[in-house]
Amino acid sequence: MLAIWIVVATIILAHLWLTRPDLGPHTPENVSLWLITLYGSTNGENLRDLEALVALLAAFGLVSIATFATRFAWRRFVGGKHDKLY
């Protein structure tokens, strides 16, 4: 159940960042140029693939950290009474 939550939340957050770039984090220009060079992007299609990959990785990291921090806080403050749900 936890894995399904992480996958679904990651896809939704990445989609939101890609469709509404004003809501997401902004990558500094030098980092963007470095990633383009590293990925070997030569056209717009490759650049779009790189954009999607970076958005998915960033969303996965954020969702994972938030999920495990919430789970840790829940166990710490509620006392682990509901651990059988996970």
State pLDDT tens for residues 23-63: 878 889 999 999 999 999 889 999 999 999 999 999 999 99
Q: How is residue 52 annotated by DSSP?
A: H
75 closest CA partner among 85, 65, 63, 61: 85
In this predicted structure, the answer to whether residue 85 has a pLDDT above a threshold of 60 is no
* pTM of the entire predicted model: 0.82
pLDDT value, residue 80: 61
